[in-house]
Structure 1
């Protein structure tokens, strides 16, 4: 399917199923949000990286207006729906302050792999333990998908964007697994280094091993 959508470019990557809370304050996006609410339509959030609007983004729906301010600003609760690919950016639309795009929606293959999912979950929990972060997911383990986990794996913005345009769940899990295998040893070494730095200057019990 190909269609026109209003767009709200942001320096974030949004995944399908993800809740994103937005404070809307710019006139163009206040107009966009008001129209989407009135017409019950979704809008697109293409990722902005290095000041450039990227080719892929995520269609989001407005679930709730958390707060409406006297000046028209609003706090919105939105939810990612599907990944889109931009075919054409339309920067000027008659009577509109915001931009739009002609997009299509690549087929997304959701079939998962239990073994891969378990490996990724184990890696994320190991990473969080190293960093002394305590997080719990809102789903049972077997129901989790790569999109639920990606923001918790320590990916850079560019890496999150790379994962966004992988259209097989197994590919996405494999991407996360490879990333975790690379980053966990680095973080473990950093933690050891922190401990060594902390010990510097402190009294320590050291054995001469009878030499």
Structure 2
């Protein structure tokens, strides 16, 4: 399916199912959001990386306008729906301050693998343990998707974007698994290095057997 959507480019990656809170203050986006609320329409957030609007983004729905300010600014709660691909950006629209895009929606394969998901979750929790951070996920383990885990894995913006346009759940889980298998040994070594630095200059009881 191909259609036209208003777009709100941002320097982030939004994943389907993700809740995103936004403060709207620019005149063009105040107009965009007001029209989307009035007409109950979604809008698109394409990822901006290195000042470039990229080909893929996520369609989002406005769940609630949390607060409206006297100057027209708004706090809104949105949720990602599905990934789109930009076919053409239309920068000037009649009577509009914002831009739009003609997009299509790549088909997504949701088939998962329990063992692979468990491996990713185990590695992710190991990373969080090393970093001494506590994270909660929006669903029970059996219902979690790669999209639910991506922002918790320490991916760079570019890596999150790469994962956004993987259109099979198995591919996304494998991507996370490879990433975690790469960074966990690095983080473990950093923790060991930190411990060695802490020991430097302290009195230590050391001995070597058989001497």
Q: What TM-score, normalized to structure 2? A: 0.98
Structure 2 unaligned regions, length at least 5? none
Q: Shift of the alpha carbon at 1:204? A: 1.7
- Counterpart for residue 24 of structure 2: 24
Q: Report matched runs for 1:1-211 at 5 Å.
A: 1-209=1-209, 211=211
Contact map agreement 2:138 2:148 (CA 8 A) in 1 = no
Aligned counterparts of 1:200 and 1:64: Cα–Cα separation in 2: 54
CA deviations over 1:41-93 (Å, ceiling 9, x no partner): 00000000000000000000000011111101000000000000000011111
The 4+ residue runs of structure 1 with deviation greater than 4 A are: none
Q: Distance in 2 between the 1:98 and 1:207 partners? A: 71
Distance 2:128 2:98 in 1: 40
With 97-106 and 198-207 compared, the bigger mean Cα shift is at: 198-207
5+ residue gaps, structure 1, are none
Measured after TM superposition, the shift of residue 208 of structure 1 is 4.2
CA drift at 1:135: 0.9
Q: How many aligned residue pairs are there?
A: 211
